Amino acid sequence: MTDTVLHVGGASPYDVVIGRGLAERLPSVLGDSVQRVAFLYAAELSQLAEPVLDVLRPAYDVLALGLPSGEQAKTADVAFECWDALGDAGFTRSDAVVTFGGGATTDVGGFVAATWLRGVRVVHVPTTLLAMVDAAVGGKTGINTAAGKNLVGSFHEPAGVLVDLDTLLTLPREELVAGMGEVVKCGFIADPAILDLVEKDPAAATDPAGDVLPDLVERAIRVKIDVVVADLKETGGAEGHPGREVLNYGHTMAHAIERAEGYTMRHGEAVAIGCCYVAELARLEGHLDDATAARHAAAFRAVGLPTTYDGTAFEDLLAAMRVDKKARGNTLRFVVLDDIARPAVLAGPSEENLRSAYDVMRGEKP
């Protein structure tokens, strides 16, 4: 396939390149001034990372730092170890970070780059579907705390993103399916063609060797680019649009579930459940019609994602949602839909409807 280049405008513009076998592009993205590169990678991907390191090592002084798996990487301790390593290696503001891994690697690697010397160049090479369509684009970085997910972080846009679709060929099936949670979400909030492609042929939509999944990846990334260019730092959109908050559709409940599960549930799985929850909440609050609410569960289920959850008491999930970044004081705020691709903000829903939507999430019929 021919490489696709999507431009991200704004104060710090960069390109997202989508293609196959993209490692050779890294030096041109890093630029001529870089001498040292910190290569932050998911440790279990050491073999997959070798071709990338083979490109970097002849051109740069490379510091390779293997990170723990998944959300276990997103801690202050891991970030501190990376800062120590950068200090010992003498990293300066003209040096750079390259991340190689899934969404957690991208988040913590981006955070390390954002905070070292108040910000150094970073290039993301996402290796999971989730990271490709979500974490790698938009400049959000962060780590988790005991209070919740991504509560510590910063905005730090990358110098470039290389979406190498070949990495999906070796991605475990369950991880690829989990990544579809963010893809399908993009269909509901902005691009109905995503839903049409998924519903027409779910098997093709999740085939990393086929032609449909690359189209879905590109469409989902375009959705995110359009949103972040218009509202990089979540200050709000125009004419009632939630702005960048729309990307957190379903995430208020999703993050609460992830916290309750000790971050052992895959993010995309939690997002699928969270989207179904908020669709039911929107239906109860008079925002969304019955058919569109039901379409949520059907679309996520078609690609193999969970749509129900009954592992934690309502009161515990409600308490976790109250520390969500979209909350204002004691008021819970949710991104909801008035229709497909018509997002809005719901502030202060009734506890009765919050609980009723929870009952549906547990598998009880509305």
Sign, CA torsion 278/311/175/201: negative
| 107 known member of a binding site | yes
Distance CA 229, CA 139 (A): 11
| 258 known member of a binding site | no
| 104 known member of a binding site | yes
| 124 known member of a binding site | no
| 138 known member of a binding site | no
Helix (H, G, I), strand (E, B) or coil at 307: coil
| 291 known member of a binding site | no
| 264 known member of a binding site | no
H or E element: which one contains 339?
strand 333-339
| 115 known member of a binding site | no
| 169 known member of a binding site | yes
| 35 known member of a binding site | no
Query: Do residues 275 and 188 make contact, with C-beta atoms less than 8 angstroms apart?
Result: yes
| 181 known member of a binding site | no
| 69 known member of a binding site | yes
| 156 known member of a binding site | no
| 167 known member of a binding site | yes
Closest to 36 measured CA to CA, from 98, 101, 127: 98
| 128 known member of a binding site | yes
| 185 known member of a binding site | no
| 75 known member of a binding site | no
| 140 known member of a binding site | yes
| 7 known member of a binding site | no
List helix spans (H) across the chain: 26-30, 46-56, 76-88, 103-115, 129-130, 173-189, 192-200, 202-205, 212-230, 251-260, 267-284, 290-302, 314-321, 351-361
Distance CA 81, CA 232 (A): 29
| 312 known member of a binding site | no
Residues within the annotated binding site?
69-74, 103-107, 127-128, 140, 149, 167-170, 182, 251, 267
Residues within the annotated binding site for NAD(+)?
69-74, 103-107, 127-128, 140, 149, 167-170
Residues within the annotated binding site for Zn(2+)?
182, 251, 267
